[in-house]
Amino acid sequence: MTLFVLLGFSAGLPFYMFSTVLSARLAKHGLDIVLIGFFGWVALLPTFKFLWAPLLDAFAVPGLSRVFGKRMSWIITAQIGIVTAMVAMAYTSADTNLPLVALLAVLLAFWTTTLEVAADGWRVELAPTAAEQGPLTAANLWGYRTAMAASSLVALTVADRAGWVWGYLAVALLAALPLPILVSLAPAARGVGRRTTALLTGLVAIAVLLLGALAFFGGFGWVALQLAIAAGISAKSNATVAVLVLCLVPFVLMAVALPWIVRLPATAWARRSTWLGPYVNIFWRFGYRVLPLLGFVTFYRMGDVLTLWGVKPLEIAAHYDLTTMGIADGFVTTPSSMAGVLVGATLAVRLRMSRALMLGAIGSALGNWIFVWLWHVPPNGLAIYTATAVDQFAHGMEGAIFVVYLSLLVNPRYAGAQYAFLSGFAFLLPRLLQGAGGEIVKSIGYDGFFWLSGTLSLAAVLFLPFIAGIRARDEETV
């Protein structure tokens, strides 16, 4: 449990920096709310983590894995990538070169997600039942949400006094602190010479991986930027309709492919493939009920994701200063979210899962609607502290229930890849809408935005009758 608190902290710290804190920074620099919304699409990258998750299941970091093991070798590599990207974001925090800022935010998101994939796969392998998942999930989310609070408190309060460069550097230092503890968990090597050679090989491999990620996302980003310019996309563009159409595409493709997948024999290449097999296995095991299942997970975290993007621009527009915002996140978020996670993990273990999921959805809706009240009251400390407490408790409870539920859907044979797919798919629609959040706010205001996001999260309840008691097919009998 101590290990998963630490891993949760390591993942939660950078996540807030490329999502919520970045939106606050851009808002403070006077960027148009639509452009800030476009930056919300950086958070789409974790949605596609299933593309590289099988690599983390199948391969280890050369050299490093001989000393630390496969999962830990990726975790340490990701930690170094996180610190490097965050330092780079510090020295571009004037936001005068937005494409470079976007590239560094994407790199930070990539390494954060890589750490999560390795840690999630490890957790599912260690705890295959609900009774075992509850405590580990609570530990992981305690660390995660504590780190989110710490990053916001440190980044915003330091930035308010010394500027954004020092705000980001301070959080980069916090991100580096877990690394020596993780290194200390390594088993003893059999020979000093072999250990030294393995570590040197590992350092070279880390450097190659960091430079490779920079080159890949730099090239991909340049092409994407040229295509956007050619298409005439700008802060005045209305992307909402296109985003909603994109949201339907995955469901259409899955519906078309399902009749073929459910008939596949065990010898079919699609079921045996190292890359495709883990994902085909999900659809094969759950059959046609996978469609309402994925519809449910898509809506369930809607409120949580949209709140993360919209809350800081709302608070700045409501004339709260960075220090007050940081105090709310730092001293209110931690106890509130930890209490919510504890309640959620307990409900997931002790109640029928459908009932626990329903309570989580109701809580998530309330956690969004509280910001409608915050928008309409005069700015004061009590109001922002109350809204933060309700939001963090509700989404902490909902998140804990959801993580346990997803973990139970996963086939332990493909722990990392399948959890990456399910958790990534759960955030696809919310993060697509997040990128169009600026346009939505311009159309219906901040109060309308939070009414809408809470209602969408509550809509997940409509799927529960179709997925309650869902059971996977037994691969041994088919």
DSSP 273: -
Counting as low any pLDDT under 50, the low residues of the chain are 189-192, 476-478
Q: What are phi and psi of 236, to 5 degrees?
A: -95, 0
Tokens encoding 50: 């299933």
Indicate the fold that domain 2-467 takes in CATH: Growth Hormone; Chain: A; (1.20.1250)
The pair of structure tokens assigned to 468 is: 């309650």
Q: How far apart are CA 147 and CA 135, in angstroms?
A: 18
SS3 of residue 377 by DSSP: coil
pLDDT tens-digit series, residues 277-315:
888 888 888 888 888 888 898 899 888 888 877 888 899
Q: What is the pTM of this model?
A: 0.69
Domain ranges of the chain: 2-467
Residues 400-431: tens digit of each pLDDT:
899 888 888 888 778 777 887 888 788 877 87
Neighbours of 236 (CB within 10 A): 9
The whole-number pLDDT of residue 47 equals: 74
Q: Say how far apart CA 221 and CA 229 lie, in whole Å.
A: 12
d(CA 104, CA 110): 10
**Helix 164-176 and helix 2-18: axis angle, to 10°?**
160
Alpha helices by DSSP H, listed for 127-191, are 130-162, 164-176, 178-184
